[in-house]
Amino acid sequence: MSGPPRQILETTPRVMASPEPNFLGAFLGLWTMTWKSRLTWRQVARLFCLIFAMPALILLTVGSGAEKAYLAFALGFYQFLLLPISCLSTFGPLIRDELQADTIGFLITRPLTRAKLFLLKFLCLTLWMQILFGLSAAMLLGVGLIKQIDGVVSMAPWFLLAQVLAVLVYGALGALFGLITKKYMVMGVVYGFVVEVGVGMIPSNIHSLSMRHHVQNLLGNSDLAKTIMAKSDLVNLSSAGTGWAIVAMLFATTLALVGGALMFTYREYHHSDEMQK
């Protein structure tokens, strides 16, 4: 391109007159920023690992028909450990990354409420993570078929539903932790041990505080997962229905997002120590 396109320059002021911000437009803008800043050559190795590492590991190490070993990877490691930790490490820096890169000023001076901005950023990152984990889950279930694991097909809908909700709730918690402290990973790990594992194991209603418990209940709808989980000392399935698990996870997501939006709205952001790595 050589020289300024006169036609564009001449029409620009008319096009630019009084733009009115809207939710969809802002979502599109933030979504473009989200995927374009993440789908880069520098990030390829990380993305590749997230999508292919687990299925490849199962493919290489689990024997044909070895249900217990397969589920130890697919549930014990993938759903209950890798997914929450990935969400924590990805959503924790939702705002903090902008602070550290010193680019927050470009966003918080746009004509959007900060609560809306926080929510939109969360939704864009959630969409990105759902795509990545969706691909990973599809590979994982595909490997289950290759390994002739009985009941993989009937487990798939529950596996995917649990994953979608888990990304939402752990993502929202990660975003909240990231706003509360720089050491959101430490906070998340402590929370994981105390609430997710500890409280989740208590055989009373208090275990509803553990999102892991609800994920287990959702997966318990699949005979394959239920049989294997029932044998584990670390699983505490309850008689609460699928609906309750979904509501509880959505409620926790909402609560964490409201907390995060309030913190983001009323906190001041300026060039301070908090912005430093």
Partner 1 sequence: MSAVIEVRELSRWYGLVMGLNNVSFDIEPGLTGLVGPNGAGKSTLIQVITGQLQPSSGSISVLGERPWNNPNLLKRIGYCPERESLPSELKPRDWLRSLALISGVAPRSAGAMSEALLHRVKLDPAHWDKRMGQYSKGMRQRVKLAQALLHEPELLILDEPMNGLDPMGRQEIAGILSGLAKEGKSILVSSHILAELESLCKNNLVLNWGRVLATGSRQDIRSNLKSWSEQLSVTCDNPRKLAEVCFRAGVLNGFDLTEKEDELVLRIREPESFYSRWTELLLESGVTVYGIRGQSRSLQQIYEKVTQ
Residues lying near partner 1 in the complex (CB under 8 A): 1-5, 8-9, 11-13, 15-22, 25-26, 28-30, 32-33, 36-38, 40, 42, 101-103, 105-114, 265, 268-272
Q: Give me the least distance between CB of 12 and partner 1, in Å please.
A: 4
Nearer to partner 1 among residue 10 and residue 233 (C-beta): 10
Nearer to partner 1 among residue 15 and residue 60 (C-beta): 15
Q: Give me the least distance between CB of 257 and partner 1, in Å please.
A: 18
End-to-end CA separation in angstroms for the chain:
39
Nearer to partner 1 among residue 96 and residue 212 (C-beta): 96
The pair of structure tokens assigned to 173 is: 């918690």
The pair of structure tokens assigned to 96 is: 């903090």
Nearer to partner 1 among residue 9 and residue 45 (C-beta): 9
Q: Which residues contact 260 (CB under 8 A, 6 or more apart)?
A: 118, 122, 172, 175, 176, 179
> Each residue of 3-33: b (16+ CB within 10 Å) or e?
eeeeeeeeeeeeeeeeeeeeeeebbebbbee
Phi-psi region of 20 (alpha: psi -120 to 50; beta: other; left: phi over 0): beta
Residue 140 CA to residue 143 CA, distance in Å, equals 5
CB 20 within 8 Å of CB 110: no
CB 172 within 8 Å of CB 122: yes
Q: Give me the least distance between CB of 107 and partner 1, in Å please.
A: 7
Q: Give me the least distance between CB of 259 and partner 1, in Å please.
A: 17
The pair of structure tokens assigned to 1 is: 């391109």
Residue 170 CA to residue 8 CA, distance in Å, equals 45
Nearer to partner 1 among residue 12 and residue 181 (C-beta): 12
Residue whose pair of structure tokens reads 């709808």 in the numeric block? 221
Q: Give me the least distance between CB of 150 and partner 1, in Å please.
A: 44
Q: Nearest Cα to 186, choosing from 62, 67, 83, 89?
A: 89
CB 92 within 8 Å of CB 175: yes
Q: Give me the least distance between CB of 267 and partner 1, in Å please.
A: 11
Q: Give me the least distance between CB of 188 and partner 1, in Å please.
A: 25
Nearer to partner 1 among residue 20 and residue 233 (C-beta): 20
Nearer to partner 1 among residue 68 and residue 110 (C-beta): 110
Q: Give me the least distance between CB of 213 and partner 1, in Å please.
A: 38
Nearer to partner 1 among residue 25 and residue 65 (C-beta): 25
